[in-house]
Amino acid sequence: MAKITFKGNTIHTNGILPSVGETAKDFELVATDLSTKSLKDFNGRLVLNIFPSLDTGVCATSVRRFNQLAANVDNTTVLCISRDLPFAHSRFCTSEGIDKVVNLSDFKDGKFGMDYGLRMIDGPLAGLNSRVVIVLDENKKVIYTEQVPEIVQEPDYDAALAVLK
């Protein structure tokens, strides 16, 4: 279990993130077209941008920033993952002109957040996924993780993308 904070107050996640070198666990998440996507549906390197909800400023900023940065990284797909409904992902991307990332929802059963050890289990956002970045290589091995220590803080975009150079 990881300890993080939300506006300075300690909260916990249900586990710990996968370790660097570990093979990523498969998942089933819902795309904006309501299709089911799994890890094997994506080729190349992956950046998993995981966050509590698009309806918060920092989460929305992370999607905008990764959308902007993803255009410059070869052989890499950014997956933006939250427990928001697929409709919210679609609405946000349409209104913001987001077109270089893939938005996925963990709304059905939250299994992704539980399997990856990043579900918040207490505090006002209990049940949502914490802010995390996980980078996978072409073989789906973890090459970078960041559990953002304070929920209202942005992830370290530069560090996440540096492992892809």
Burial of 94 by CB count in 10 Å (0-12 exposed, 13-18 middle, 19+ buried)?
exposed
Out of 24, 59, 128, 136, which one is annotated catalytic? 59
> Across the chain, how many H-helices and E-strands are there?
4, 9
* Catalytic residue flag (residue 59): yes
Residue 14 CA to residue 12 CA, distance in Å, equals 7
Q: How far apart are the first and last CA of the chain?
A: 31
Looking at the DSSP bridge assignments, the partners of residue 11 are 4
Which amino acids are annotated catalytic?
59
